[in-house]
Amino acid sequence: MARTAVLGRLGAAAPIAWRLAELVELVPETPRVASLLLSVPGWPGHTAGQHVDVRLTAQDGYQAQRSYSIAAPAESERVVLTVERLEDGEVSPFLVDDLRAGDRFELRGPIGGYFVWDEGSGGPLQLVAGGSGVVPLMAMLRHRAAVGSDVPATLLYSARSPEEVIYREELDRLGGGDGGPQVVYTLTRERPSGWTGYDRRIDGEMLAEVFGRPDADAMAFVCGPTRFVEVAADGLVALGYDPSRVRTERFGPSGRS
Protein backbone atom coordinates (compact mmCIF):
# COMPACT_ATOMS: atom_id res chain seq x y z
CA MET A 1 0.00 0.00 0.00
CA ALA A 2 1.36 3.41 -0.93
CA ARG A 3 2.42 5.80 1.79
CA THR A 4 -0.32 8.21 0.74
CA ALA A 5 -2.80 5.64 2.08
CA VAL A 6 -1.13 5.39 5.46
CA LEU A 7 -2.89 8.27 7.15
CA GLY A 8 -6.11 7.22 8.85
CA ARG A 9 -9.33 9.11 8.68
CA LEU A 10 -11.82 10.50 11.13
CA GLY A 11 -15.11 12.22 10.56
CA ALA A 12 -15.75 15.89 11.17
CA ALA A 13 -16.58 15.32 14.83
CA ALA A 14 -14.45 16.67 17.67
CA PRO A 15 -10.92 15.21 17.68
CA ILE A 16 -10.36 12.01 19.65
CA ALA A 17 -7.23 11.93 21.79
CA TRP A 18 -4.38 9.52 21.16
CA ARG A 19 -3.65 7.19 24.08
CA LEU A 20 -0.82 4.80 24.84
CA ALA A 21 -1.86 1.15 24.64
CA GLU A 22 0.28 -1.52 26.29
CA LEU A 23 0.30 -5.12 25.13
CA VAL A 24 -0.72 -7.47 27.94
CA GLU A 25 -0.88 -10.67 25.91
CA LEU A 26 -0.71 -11.77 22.29
CA VAL A 27 -2.96 -14.72 21.41
CA PRO A 28 -2.39 -16.57 18.09
CA GLU A 29 -5.67 -17.20 16.27
CA THR A 30 -4.46 -18.67 12.95
CA PRO A 31 -1.02 -18.88 11.28
CA ARG A 32 -1.48 -15.29 10.03
CA VAL A 33 -3.76 -13.76 12.67
CA ALA A 34 -3.26 -12.81 16.30
CA SER A 35 -5.34 -11.05 18.95
CA LEU A 36 -3.71 -8.24 20.92
CA LEU A 37 -5.02 -7.87 24.49
CA LEU A 38 -4.32 -4.28 25.45
CA SER A 39 -4.36 -2.16 28.56
CA VAL A 40 -5.46 1.37 27.60
CA PRO A 41 -5.52 3.80 30.55
CA GLY A 42 -8.40 6.25 30.26
CA TRP A 43 -10.30 4.10 27.77
CA PRO A 44 -13.85 5.57 27.63
CA GLY A 45 -15.60 2.33 26.66
CA HIS A 46 -16.99 1.25 23.31
CA THR A 47 -19.86 -0.46 21.52
CA ALA A 48 -19.47 -3.73 19.60
CA GLY A 49 -18.64 -2.94 15.98
CA GLN A 50 -16.50 0.14 16.58
CA HIS A 51 -12.85 0.43 15.57
CA VAL A 52 -9.66 2.28 16.51
CA ASP A 53 -6.76 3.90 14.72
CA VAL A 54 -3.30 2.52 15.51
CA ARG A 55 -0.21 4.67 14.92
CA LEU A 56 3.38 3.46 14.89
CA THR A 57 6.34 5.85 14.85
CA ALA A 58 9.77 4.79 13.57
CA GLN A 59 13.03 6.07 15.05
CA ASP A 60 13.44 8.41 12.06
CA GLY A 61 10.04 9.94 12.80
CA TYR A 62 8.13 8.25 9.96
CA GLN A 63 4.63 7.29 11.03
CA ALA A 64 2.31 4.58 9.74
CA GLN A 65 -1.35 4.39 10.70
CA ARG A 66 -4.05 1.78 10.21
CA SER A 67 -7.58 1.14 11.46
CA TYR A 68 -8.55 -2.08 13.24
CA SER A 69 -11.88 -3.31 14.53
CA ILE A 70 -12.31 -3.95 18.24
CA ALA A 71 -12.86 -7.64 18.93
CA ALA A 72 -13.79 -7.30 22.61
CA PRO A 73 -17.33 -6.71 23.84
CA ALA A 74 -18.15 -3.55 25.75
CA GLU A 75 -17.99 -5.56 28.98
CA SER A 76 -14.29 -6.44 28.58
CA GLU A 77 -11.68 -4.82 30.82
CA ARG A 78 -9.22 -5.03 27.92
CA VAL A 79 -9.28 -3.55 24.46
CA VAL A 80 -8.74 -6.43 22.03
CA LEU A 81 -7.63 -6.02 18.42
CA THR A 82 -7.44 -9.01 16.09
CA VAL A 83 -4.90 -8.35 13.36
CA GLU A 84 -4.20 -10.25 10.15
CA ARG A 85 -0.61 -10.10 8.94
CA LEU A 86 -0.40 -8.68 5.40
CA GLU A 87 2.86 -9.67 3.74
CA ASP A 88 3.33 -6.22 2.18
CA GLY A 89 1.94 -4.35 5.17
CA GLU A 90 3.73 -1.63 7.12
CA VAL A 91 1.86 -2.12 10.40
CA SER A 92 0.35 -5.60 10.65
CA PRO A 93 3.63 -7.62 10.44
CA PHE A 94 5.02 -5.65 13.39
CA LEU A 95 1.87 -6.09 15.46
CA VAL A 96 1.58 -9.83 14.78
CA ASP A 97 5.26 -10.89 14.71
CA ASP A 98 7.33 -8.37 16.66
CA LEU A 99 5.20 -6.94 19.44
CA ARG A 100 5.94 -8.27 22.93
CA ALA A 101 4.17 -7.99 26.28
CA GLY A 102 4.93 -4.58 27.76
CA ASP A 103 5.44 -2.89 24.38
CA ARG A 104 3.39 0.23 23.82
CA PHE A 105 2.00 2.09 20.82
CA GLU A 106 -0.48 4.88 20.13
CA LEU A 107 -4.17 4.19 19.77
CA ARG A 108 -7.14 6.47 19.08
CA GLY A 109 -10.80 5.59 19.51
CA PRO A 110 -13.36 4.29 19.72
CA ILE A 111 -14.53 5.40 16.28
CA GLY A 112 -17.80 4.74 14.46
CA GLY A 113 -21.48 4.82 15.29
CA TYR A 114 -23.16 3.21 12.26
CA PHE A 115 -21.79 -0.33 12.18
CA VAL A 116 -22.59 -1.08 15.83
CA TRP A 117 -24.93 -3.35 17.78
CA ASP A 118 -25.90 -3.85 21.40
CA GLU A 119 -28.68 -5.78 23.08
CA GLY A 120 -30.98 -2.77 22.97
CA SER A 121 -30.73 -2.66 19.16
CA GLY A 122 -32.95 -5.74 18.92
CA GLY A 123 -32.93 -8.31 16.16
CA PRO A 124 -32.88 -11.06 14.93
CA LEU A 125 -29.17 -10.46 14.36
CA GLN A 126 -27.93 -11.67 10.98
CA LEU A 127 -24.15 -11.60 10.49
CA VAL A 128 -22.15 -12.28 7.32
CA ALA A 129 -18.34 -12.37 7.51
CA GLY A 130 -15.59 -12.80 4.96
CA GLY A 131 -12.15 -13.66 6.36
CA SER A 132 -11.00 -11.16 8.97
CA GLY A 133 -14.30 -9.35 8.54
CA VAL A 134 -15.50 -11.60 11.36
CA VAL A 135 -13.72 -9.41 13.94
CA PRO A 136 -16.38 -6.72 14.63
CA LEU A 137 -19.11 -9.35 14.29
CA MET A 138 -17.37 -11.44 16.95
CA ALA A 139 -17.51 -8.42 19.27
CA MET A 140 -21.29 -8.42 18.75
CA LEU A 141 -21.59 -12.13 19.53
CA ARG A 142 -19.38 -11.74 22.59
CA HIS A 143 -21.54 -8.87 23.82
CA ARG A 144 -24.65 -10.96 23.24
CA ALA A 145 -23.16 -13.77 25.32
CA ALA A 146 -21.87 -11.45 28.05
CA VAL A 147 -25.30 -9.93 28.72
CA GLY A 148 -27.20 -13.21 28.31
CA SER A 149 -29.25 -11.84 25.40
CA ASP A 150 -31.90 -14.06 23.86
CA VAL A 151 -31.96 -12.08 20.60
CA PRO A 152 -31.77 -14.74 17.85
CA ALA A 153 -28.42 -14.59 16.04
CA THR A 154 -26.90 -16.29 13.01
CA LEU A 155 -23.35 -16.00 11.64
CA LEU A 156 -22.48 -17.06 8.10
CA TYR A 157 -18.69 -17.09 7.86
CA SER A 158 -16.72 -17.54 4.63
CA ALA A 159 -13.06 -18.61 4.89
CA ARG A 160 -10.60 -20.18 2.50
CA SER A 161 -9.79 -23.18 4.71
CA PRO A 162 -10.45 -24.54 8.20
CA GLU A 163 -7.03 -23.25 9.33
CA GLU A 164 -8.04 -19.70 8.40
CA VAL A 165 -11.26 -19.63 10.43
CA ILE A 166 -10.57 -17.05 13.14
CA TYR A 167 -11.99 -17.83 16.61
CA ARG A 168 -12.99 -21.33 15.46
CA GLU A 169 -13.03 -22.94 18.91
CA GLU A 170 -14.89 -20.06 20.53
CA LEU A 171 -17.43 -19.87 17.73
CA ASP A 172 -18.10 -23.60 17.94
CA ARG A 173 -18.47 -23.31 21.71
CA LEU A 174 -20.87 -20.37 21.46
CA GLY A 175 -22.84 -22.05 18.69
CA GLY A 176 -23.11 -25.30 20.63
CA GLY A 177 -24.31 -23.69 23.84
CA ASP A 178 -27.87 -23.34 25.02
CA GLY A 179 -29.35 -20.26 23.37
CA GLY A 180 -26.15 -19.65 21.41
CA PRO A 181 -25.99 -18.29 17.87
CA GLN A 182 -26.29 -20.46 14.81
CA VAL A 183 -22.82 -20.59 13.20
CA VAL A 184 -22.53 -21.66 9.55
CA TYR A 185 -19.24 -21.95 7.66
CA THR A 186 -18.46 -22.02 3.96
CA LEU A 187 -14.92 -23.04 2.93
CA THR A 188 -13.98 -21.75 -0.49
CA ARG A 189 -10.60 -23.40 -1.21
CA GLU A 190 -9.63 -26.23 1.12
CA ARG A 191 -11.95 -28.56 3.01
CA PRO A 192 -11.27 -31.44 5.39
CA SER A 193 -12.14 -34.99 4.47
CA GLY A 194 -15.82 -35.64 4.99
CA TRP A 195 -16.77 -31.95 4.96
CA THR A 196 -20.54 -31.63 4.47
CA GLY A 197 -20.91 -27.87 4.81
CA TYR A 198 -20.92 -25.20 2.13
CA ASP A 199 -17.93 -25.20 -0.22
CA ARG A 200 -18.36 -22.09 -2.37
CA ARG A 201 -18.41 -18.33 -2.23
CA ILE A 202 -21.46 -16.78 -0.62
CA ASP A 203 -24.32 -16.24 -3.05
CA GLY A 204 -28.03 -15.47 -2.99
CA GLU A 205 -29.06 -19.12 -2.73
CA MET A 206 -26.82 -19.65 0.30
CA LEU A 207 -28.13 -16.51 2.00
CA ALA A 208 -31.71 -17.67 1.44
CA GLU A 209 -30.96 -21.11 2.91
CA VAL A 210 -29.17 -19.76 5.98
CA PHE A 211 -31.25 -16.68 6.80
CA GLY A 212 -34.56 -17.13 4.99
CA ARG A 213 -37.04 -14.30 4.64
CA PRO A 214 -36.34 -11.46 7.07
CA ASP A 215 -38.23 -10.63 10.19
CA ALA A 216 -39.38 -7.00 10.08
CA ASP A 217 -37.04 -6.17 12.97
CA ALA A 218 -34.02 -8.09 11.65
CA MET A 219 -30.68 -6.32 11.56
CA ALA A 220 -27.94 -7.51 9.22
CA PHE A 221 -24.23 -6.73 9.42
CA VAL A 222 -21.86 -7.65 6.59
CA CYS A 223 -18.08 -7.26 6.86
CA GLY A 224 -15.23 -8.31 4.59
CA PRO A 225 -13.53 -7.39 1.31
CA THR A 226 -15.39 -4.90 -0.88
CA ARG A 227 -16.69 -7.31 -3.54
CA PHE A 228 -17.73 -9.85 -0.90
CA VAL A 229 -19.69 -7.18 0.95
CA GLU A 230 -21.44 -5.98 -2.20
CA VAL A 231 -22.58 -9.48 -3.16
CA ALA A 232 -23.80 -10.34 0.35
CA ALA A 233 -25.58 -7.03 0.93
CA ASP A 234 -27.29 -7.14 -2.46
CA GLY A 235 -28.34 -10.72 -1.78
CA LEU A 236 -29.91 -9.80 1.56
CA VAL A 237 -31.81 -6.90 0.02
CA ALA A 238 -33.05 -9.24 -2.71
CA LEU A 239 -34.39 -11.53 0.03
CA GLY A 240 -36.48 -8.65 1.33
CA TYR A 241 -34.23 -7.07 3.95
CA ASP A 242 -34.77 -3.36 4.44
CA PRO A 243 -31.65 -1.72 2.93
CA SER A 244 -31.51 0.67 5.89
CA ARG A 245 -31.13 -2.34 8.21
CA VAL A 246 -28.30 -3.94 6.24
CA ARG A 247 -25.12 -2.36 7.62
CA THR A 248 -21.83 -2.89 5.80
CA GLU A 249 -18.14 -2.49 6.60
CA ARG A 250 -15.48 -2.98 3.94
CA PHE A 251 -11.83 -3.96 4.41
CA GLY A 252 -9.11 -3.44 1.84
CA PRO A 253 -8.23 -0.76 -0.72
CA SER A 254 -11.79 0.60 -0.83
CA GLY A 255 -12.36 0.49 2.90
CA ARG A 256 -10.54 0.12 6.20
CA SER A 257 -7.48 -2.11 6.45
- Which residue has better confidence, 20 or 253? 20
Residues 135, 104 share a domain:
no
pLDDT single digits (tens) 196-233: 999 999 999 999 999 998 888 999 999 999 999 999 99
Q: Give yes or no for a contact between 199 and 212, defined as CB atoms under 8 angstroms apart.
A: no
Residue 178 is assigned to a structural domain of this protein: yes
pLDDT range class, residue 10, cuts 50, 70, 90: very low
CB-hemisphere CA count at 13 Å for 240? 9
pLDDT single digits (tens) 38-90: 999 999 999 999 999 999 998 888 999 999 999 999 999 999 999 999 988 89
- Beta-strand runs (E) in the chain: 18-30, 33-39, 51-57, 63-69, 79-84, 104-111, 125-130, 153-159, 182-187, 219-225, 246-251
- Which residue has better confidence, 2 or 84? 84
Residues 156, 52 share a domain:
no
Residue 257 is assigned to a structural domain of this protein: no
Report d(CA 200, CA 130) in Å as an integer.
12
Q: What is the pLDDT of residue 91?
A: 94
Mean pLDDT of 23-31: 97
Q: What is the pLDDT of residue 252?
A: 61
Residues 213, 147 share a domain:
yes
Query: b/e per residue, 7-16, with b = 16+ CB within 10 A?
Result: ebeeeeeeee
Q: Give yes or no for a contact between 211 and 126, defined as CB atoms under 8 angstroms apart.
A: yes
Q: Which domain holds residue 221?
A: 119-251
Residues 83, 144 share a domain:
no
pLDDT range class, residue 92, cuts 50, 70, 90: very high
Give how many domains the chain has, as a whole number: 2
Query: Terminus-to-terminus CA distance in the chain, angstroms?
Result: 10
Residues 212, 191 share a domain:
yes
Going from the C-alpha of 155 to that of each of 131, 247, 255, the distances in angstroms are 13, 14, 22
Mean pLDDT of 167-185: 94
Q: Is the pTM of this model over 0.75?
A: yes
166-173 contacts at long range (C-beta below 8 A, 24 or more positions apart): 166/29, 166/30, 166/33, 166/82, 166/131, 166/132, 166/134, 166/135, 166/138, 167/29, 167/134, 167/138, 170/138, 171/138, 171/141
Residues 225, 178 share a domain:
yes
Residues 71, 172 share a domain:
no
